[in-house]
A and B are shown apart, each in its own frame.
Chain A
Amino acid sequence: MQLLKGIPWKYAGRKLLLAIPLVLGVVTLIFVLLELAPGDASTKFLNPDFPPEVKQMVIEKYGLDRPAWYRYFLMMKNLAVLDFGRSITAERPVWDLVADALPNTVILSFVTLIVSYPLGILLGTWQAIRQNKPDDTAISVGSLLFYSMPSFWFAMMLQLFISYYLSNWVSGQIEAGTLPGFMNVFDFDVSGMYSNDLLIAMSMDDPWTWGQILSDPLGAWNERFPWWLERNLSMLHHLILPGIAMGIASSAGAARYMRSSLLEVIRQDYIRTARAKGLPERVVILKHAMRNALLPIITLFGLSIPYLFSGSVLVEVVFAWPGMGRLIIDSIFAQDTPTIVACFFVSTLLVVTGNLISDISYAVVDPRIRYD
């Protein structure tokens, strides 16, 4: 409740209002870009060997021969009710595609964020406490290394070294009896979200219905829960390598930031006062320094959403993770205008929300910050 009082409602409302022209601007920009390009979905996505009638059919079905201004206003009109139309390549409503892909990307990004930021904060704090000692230097070099690393290359190296070399070595050792059987946890499938067996089982399984759940909740739970558990465990297992590939850079960034932030705070007078009072160093760091040093990190947290989105594109391609990144790339290659516009719409919304959340949480945790 105390925290809720700090929320700058007026500021948030104004920012949200300002976000509307921003989103419309992004959508317009993307539409103009797509119009400037030669060709359309009928030339990019259809096999050129198809008879011209097929091409004509696609053009007519999606109104690709209409003038650009007409399609623009049609798109804007549909956007007002958040309808993006049908994807040309997938022959499905765009929202269905987004609804399939977005949760996967959100899972990947959020699990990554939740693990990587505390890790980075921990490392940065450790570095700041032990400034200029060998371990500080070592972590600095390490974080700079991962900060400078292309995520896709790191993802490939993870596939190679962990799920191939290490996994083979471990399974060899298990066969030879030098390692216990439970050590065989490195056999990550290098692609996808679920293992193949599970995918086949899932495709054969009847989809659940609300009627079934409401009529017999306990039975449905008993029937569904093992399934649900197996599914999510499989997903977690598949999440580890992409998560590391994406998270290590944000960990490194957070560590670099945390170190400089904490060093800044430690120089302040109130820390000297706390030490002079004879407080133990642990209390000085955790209660007095850390609380203030964490403030800028909160901003970083919200601002890292666009980077995560960009980073997830490449990592999703390497690991064949069925998320937004792959959807965007596939639709760009096919010049599938409705899907591209929807993807940009969603990602812009995420970015704007991320910025807003970081602004608001900054004001909530730091009463000195006032937006007006």
Chain B
Amino acid sequence: MTAIEKHEKKPEPPKTYAGYVWPGLGHLLNGEIIHGLGMMSVTALCGLGLIIGMPTLGSRLFVQTGLSYHAVIALLGLPAVLAVLWFRAHRRAFPRELTEEEFNSNRNIFLRQIRRHRSGMLGFYGICLLLLAMLIAPLLAPFDPDLIDAGPATAAPGWWQHVAPMIGWSDESAVHGWLQYPLGTDERGRDVLSRLLFGARISLLIGFFAVSIAASIGTVVGATAGYLGGWVDRALMWVVDLLLAMPRLVLLLAVVGIIDLGGTKRLFLIIGVLGFTGWMGVSRIVRSQVLSLKQQDFIQAARALGYSRPRIVLQHLVPNAMAPVIVFCSLAIGGTMLAEAGLSFLGLGVQPPTSTWGVMVNEGRPTLRDAPWISLFPGLAIVAAVMCFNLLGDGLRDALDPKQRT
């Protein structure tokens, strides 16, 4: 064992069994504050889902159209999440003994790096909370998100109705209870919190799928251009330049505004268009990676062994070029969510009754002065989500690519 490795292997902190009571508490007591608080809040959200959802489970499971499969997935997902949480707490109490080989594997080095990165982990737990809220939305949401007249139109958040007269903001007395309509209702009396929770699903779905499409196309194009070189490289890079020369949002507007599809097709159109306009960055990154990797000995060896081109590219080049792509993806999910929000804001996003955070911001525009909560909270949700993805992306970059560390 070298000096560096000895330095990396810290003495194990004392074991605690507190994690069994509340997953995360063990981490917290051992001084891992972000992991502890993060896991505890994820557990707390699970608990909140149980407390809010269980008493009215019947009406949440059986809706007018029959069995609500959203609620079924939430019911199945919740125990799975809790199982993972308790397993992590168990591992905290009984850490696995790593052999020296395992300890020095790339995977474990990366995991140690990223776990130590505080802001990255903050983003990670933020995303976990977001995904969990998305998963158990049917249990958490007070109302059906599309239910018109779930409450009076443009009712202020319940707590605000109580707080506003106290701080002299308004002199209207409160009508609703403190926890009723926590984020207010919109013009048609729909509950903003419920719509926010369900809207997260579409926003994130679009972000994830569009970025995976972009990453796949970008990797294929970049690897092809970088490995083959010559006129293929020039032609592909010309296409990249062409697409980069158009402002992305304007291009998106042109495609989505011109091709008029409704319903679910529109969702696929938006995912596809966001994916097909987002791959140029990845392809440049992969190309430059491949260009430098191509000259290295292990690729020469693979070539000397007579491996086929696809095998060299897919098995030897691409996996080694992946680190910056992963970082890019994490950062790009945020950017894609912003682009989608912009599209929805212009009325070109998914169509009603499906809704995303961008659509919700747009819906609040006419009544911005009288009912600001309709736009305020979805916007805050976008900011929080995009910020979490950016934090995680920065953390991944520091962990995967120590040269670029800032």
Contact = CB atoms under 8 A, between A and B. Distances in A.
Contacts of B375: 153, 156
Interface in A123-161: 144-145, 147-154, 156-157, 159-160
A33 B258 contact: yes
Contacts of A164: 369
B253 A332 contact: yes
B390 A314 contact: no
Given A148-B387, A329-B346, A351-B245, A153 B253 contact: no
Residue among A153, A307, A311, A314 facing the most chain B CB atoms (10 A cut-off): A153
A335 interface: yes
A37 B244 CA distance: 23
Interface string A291-315: 0000000000000001101110110
Chain B: interface size category = 35 or more
A259 B406 contact: yes
B250 A160 contact: no
Interface in B227-254: 238, 241-242, 244-250, 253-254
Contacts of A30: 254
B22 interface: no
Contact of B248 (A306, A317, A328, A344): A306
B199 interface: no
Interface in B331-389: 334, 338, 341-342, 345-346, 358, 361, 365, 368-369, 372, 375-376, 379, 382-383, 386-387
Contact of A351 (B247, B254, B372, B382): B247
B250 A147 contact: no
Contacts of A160: 368-369, 372
B171 interface: no
A26 interface: yes
A26 B390 contact: no
Contacts, number: 128
Contact of B258 (A263, A317, A335): A335
Interface string A16-43: 0000011101100110011011110000
B259 interface: yes
A149 B383 contact: yes
A329 B248 contact: no
B245 A348 contact: yes
Contacts of B369: 160, 164
Contact of B259 (A37, A149, A154, A156): A37
A170 B37 CA distance: 41
A27 to B, nearest CB: 11
Interface in A208-234: none
Contacts of B376: 157
A126 to B, nearest CB: 15
Contact of A344 (B246, B260, B387): B246
Contact of B242 (A25, A33, A329): A25
Contacts of B334: 148
Main secondary structure on B side of the interface with A: helix
A26 B383 contact: no
Interface residues of A, number: 51
A19 to B, nearest CB: 8
Interface in A317-372: 317, 328-329, 332-333, 335, 340, 343-344, 347-348, 351-352
A26 B250 contact: no
Given A164-B369, A328-B253, A157 B379 contact: yes
A38 B254 CA distance: 13
Contacts of B247: 306-307, 309-310, 313, 347, 351
A89 interface: no
Interface string A270-303: 0000000000000000000000000000000000
Contacts of B383: 145, 148-150, 153
B358 A33 contact: no
A314 B255 contact: no
A144 B254 contact: no
Contacts of A344: 246, 250, 254
B391 interface: yes
A147 B335 CA distance: 10
A29 B250 contact: no
A260 B245 contact: no
Among B334, B338, B358, B365, residue most surrounded by chain A Cβ atoms (within 10 Å)? B338
Contact of B390 (A22, A144, A348): A144
B151 interface: no
A343 B247 CA distance: 11
Nearest to A348: B245
A313 B249 contact: yes
Interface in B99-126: none
B284 to A, nearest CB: 13
B257 interface: yes
| Residue from A33, A328, A332 having most chain B Cβ neighbours under 10 A | A332
A256 B379 CA distance: 23
A353 to B, nearest CB: 11
A124 B244 CA distance: 27
Given A310-B247, A329-B346, A348-B246, A150 B341 contact: yes
Interface string A247-276: 000000000000110010000000000000
A371 B379 CA distance: 44
A352 B391 contact: no
B260 A144 contact: no
A332 B245 contact: no
A153 B364 CA distance: 10
A340 B254 contact: yes
B250 A310 contact: yes
Contacts of B248: 306, 310
Given A310-B248, A333-B257, 8 more contacts: A25-B238, A33-B254, A33-B258, A150-B341, A160-B372, A306-B244, A310-B247, A344-B254
Counting from the closest, the 9 A-B pairs by CB-CB distance are A153-B379, A310-B249, A148-B386, A260-B406, A37-B258, A332-B257, A148-B387, A310-B247, A309-B247
13 contacts: A147-B390, A148-B338, A156-B368, A156-B379, A260-B406, A306-B247, A309-B247, A310-B247, A311-B249, A313-B249, A313-B342, A329-B346, A347-B250
